[in-house]
Amino acid sequence: MTIRSFQGKAPQLGDRAFVDPSAVVIGDVVIGADSSVWPLVTIRGDMHRIRIGARTSVQDGSVLHITHAGPFNPDGFALTIGDDVTIGHKALLHGCTVGSRILIGMGTIVMDGAVIEDEVILGAGSLVPPGKVLKSGHLYVGSPAKEARALTEKELGFFRYTAANYVKLKDQHVAELKGG
């Protein structure tokens, strides 16, 4: 795995966090306990901070980046992701805020300043434009993402199940990599 500091800021991994050997994590990044970063993921905290909560899974090929501070955005946007989040394959999250207990579908793009509140499912291939707020308890789909319906009780239970499932899978990968 490539974990490297940038301008004096080194990534920090929580207890039992897993970063696949082919992933890249750079700079001001904190990854929470039992979280997993899968093959070919890029997490670049080079010009602002990235915070990833506990039991969050960042799946294959995803890119996590920030919005730097500059003349068009004086403060920039950090990237903040809560607990029990599943980020599907090849998702792109850029300078946004993602709450807890969320499923971000494969190939989804979430842009600068967007906010995804807790307990949201974002369908595969969706686009969340800059500054948009997705309200808690709903399914959103499309480009741009639009509210489709309220989540069911079964779907609300899915978040913790899938987070626990990825913790288990992560532990299996760690054991294999250690030769056990």
Contact indicator for 23, 38 with CB cutoff of 8 Å: yes
Instruction: Tell me, yes or no, if the pTM score tops 0.85.
Output: yes
The whole-angstrom distance between residue 6's C-alpha and the CA centroid of its chain comes to 20
For residue 157, is pLDDT > 80? yes
What is the model's pLDDT at position 1? 61
Residue 113 in 3-state DSSP? coil
The maximal CA–CA distance of the chain, rounded, in angstroms, is: 52
What is the model's pLDDT at position 179? 84
Query: Averaged over 132-139, what is the pLDDT?
Result: 99
* Residue 98 burial (C-beta neighbours within 10 Å; 0-12, 13-18, 19+): buried
Superfamily (CATH) of domain 2-177: Hexapeptide repeat proteins (2.160.10.10)
What is the model's pLDDT at position 180? 62
Tokens of 82: 């809560």
* Residue 133 burial (C-beta neighbours within 10 Å; 0-12, 13-18, 19+): exposed
Looking at residue 123, what DSSP letter applies?
Answer: -
Position 3 confidence tier, pLDDT thresholds 50, 70, 90: very high
What is the model's pLDDT at position 135? 99
Distance between terminal CA atoms of the chain?
19
Q: Give the model confidence (pLDDT) of 37-92 as tens digits.
A: 999 999 999 999 999 999 999 999 999 999 999 998 999 999 999 999 999 999 99
For residue 97, is pLDDT > 70? yes
Determine if the peptide bond prior to 130 is cis (ω within 30°). no
For residue 162, is pLDDT > 80? yes
Domain ranges for the chain: 2-177
